[in-house]
Amino acid sequence: MAAHLRFLRHVSGGALLAAMLSAAALGALALTVGLLSAAAATDARDRAQIEDRIVLLLLENGLSDLTLRIDRRGEELLPGLEDVRLVLWQWRAGDWRLHRTTAPDIAAAFPAPPDPGREERAIGGRRYLIESPDIAALSADWLLPMADTALSLAFALPGPAVHEARRVIWAVWSGLALAVVIGLALLASHKRRYSDGIAEINALLARFSEGETDLRLPEDQPAPELGDLARHLNRVLPRIAELVGGLRYLSATMAHELKTPLQVIRSDLSRLGAAPDAAGRATYAADIDRTIDAANARLHALTQLFRLEAMAEVPMTRVDLSTLTEQAADDLADLLETRNRQLRLDIAPGVAVTGNRALLDLMLSNLLGNAAKYAPDGAGIGVTLAREGDAFALSVWNTGASFPDDIRARAFERFSRARDEGESAGTGIGLSLIRAIAQRHGFDAAIAPATDRAEVTISGDCAP
């Protein structure tokens, strides 16, 4: 049924109302024709039965009984025939003379009996159907023929059945007219309320686009559909404001982050041009390369962090964290050997989590990269992954130095560096990116309060 009604989504309220009213009008028209036809047939059948009963009364009891019934004023002519208007004539002295009548005004309209048959005539401001049976022909075979008698029956138009049908039809069409008026009034009201609500939403969105990102829509909209729209927009607008603010922050941050490297490169280029020998030029060129690499790494990490924070949804699957950690450690093993750093692994097998494989791989790469970057020569670098019931604990550490207390308190903040000198200067983004990835997965990221080593732990629930 729902599939058959999908087309209604593409039909406007006015068109739908017009279609429904047209269908109702056609139905009412068909009902009108049917009721009038049935009522006319009923009245014709009733008139025929009345005529047959009057003729039968003449056959069985003669003219005197019918005359007597007419003379008894205040009593019905025949049971069920109280609404019949009857006129009787008799042939006397070579002329037709009025014998009896129940309707003097009708008798006055006929100085002589009408010809046998039927006719419609307006009498006294009302229309009547005059039925005049041929009594002489009908009574030819009776014991007492009545060739000297003429009879006319007058039936007011419309008949009872048609009159009742017209009352019903009037009620139907009145109800339809009332429905049309109410429907048009509701449609006009709905359109007005809808247009007012749309205008309010458009005005607020225009102000929002001009920078008033703290604006929100009232949810008590005049049209019910707009209330749902307002609620959805109020959930979206803060996210848009957050993204716009993040974009502005990212732009300002990138401009700030590029300012210093560009100044350093400009200074080194000046020195490079003024260097007296090839060795000096090579030194300055190497400095420029290192500055560019550091700036590029910092901007890349910053872009990754903002991209992650801007993602509304991250697809999650079952990830084998044990295998992923081993692969990340293998990728770093060769680099550690060249720097005389020892890698120690203690990875429990079969630890699985629900997460995004690419983001978890980025988190592990940053954890191991930070450990390798800040560990002194000859230091040990350890990776431990353990499962405790339905939870896991991942620890990455390096010996040689611990996080100072002031650094530990702000290590996960953006642009916080463990040290700013030498080849180990970092981007200040790594740990904040690690925490952002952990939080997106519902994990906890922390710095262990160790005194003999720098250790970062990630903990959370295992996949069922």
* Mean pLDDT over the full length of the chain: 80
The secondary element (H helix, E strand) that includes residue 149 is strand 149-156
pLDDT of res. 422: 40
Which of 6-10, 24-28, 260-264, 270-274 comes out lowest in average pLDDT?
Answer: 6-10
Percent of the chain with pLDDT over 70: 79
pLDDT of res. 291: 77
Say whether pLDDT at 21 is over 70.
yes
**Angle at which helices 224-274 and 160-209 cross, to 10°:** 20
Task: Count the neighbouring beta carbons within 10 Å of the beta carbon of residue 412.
Answer: 20
pLDDT tens for 294-320 read 677 667 666 666 666 655 567 889 999
Alpha carbon 220 to its chain centroid, in Å, reads 17
pLDDT of res. 2: 46
pLDDT band at 1 (very low <50, low <70, confident <90, very high): very low
Rounded average pLDDT over 180-204: 85
Query: Which one-letter amino acid corresponds to residue 23?
Result: A
Say whether pLDDT at 10 is over 50.
no
All domains in the chain, ordered by first residue: 13-163 (3.30.450), 217-312 (no CATH), 314-461 (3.30.565.10)
> How many alpha carbons fall within 13 Å on the CB side of residue 316?
12
Percent of the chain with pLDDT over 90: 24
pLDDT tens for 48-93 read 998 998 899 888 888 888 888 888 764 566 666 666 789 999 999 8
pLDDT band at 407 (very low <50, low <70, confident <90, very high): low
Longest Cα–Cα distance in the chain: 163
- Phi and psi at 127, nearest 5°, equal -90, 140
pLDDT of res. 68: 85
| Of 37 and 431, the one with more pLDDT | 37
Burial degree of 361 (CB within 10 A; 0-12, 13-18, 19+): middle
Cβ–Cβ < 8 Å for 387, 462? yes
| Of 59 and 251, the one with more pLDDT | 59
Rounded average pLDDT over 39-46: 92
Say whether pLDDT at 32 is over 80.
yes
Q: Model's pTM, two decimal places?
A: 0.47
Rg (CA), the chain: 52
| Of 236 and 132, the one with more pLDDT | 132
Say whether pLDDT at 462 is over 90.
yes
pLDDT tens for 155-181 read 989 888 999 999 999 999 999 899 888
pLDDT of res. 310: 59
pLDDT tens for 334-368 read 666 666 677 888 999 999 999 988 888 888 888 88
DSSP conformation letters of 152-208: EEEEESS-HHHHHHHHHHHHHHHHHHHHHHHHHHHHHHHHHHHHHHHHHHHHHHHHH
Rounded average pLDDT over 231-248: 78
Give the highest mean pLDDT range of 156-165, 230-239, 275-284, 368-377.
156-165
261: which DSSP letter?
H
pLDDT band at 404 (very low <50, low <70, confident <90, very high): low
Say whether pLDDT at 419 is over 50.
no
367: which residues sit within 8 A by CB, 6+ positions away? 396, 434, 456, 458
The strand ranges marked E within 238-341 are: 317-320
| Of 342 and 9, the one with more pLDDT | 342
Say whether pLDDT at 415 is over 50.
no
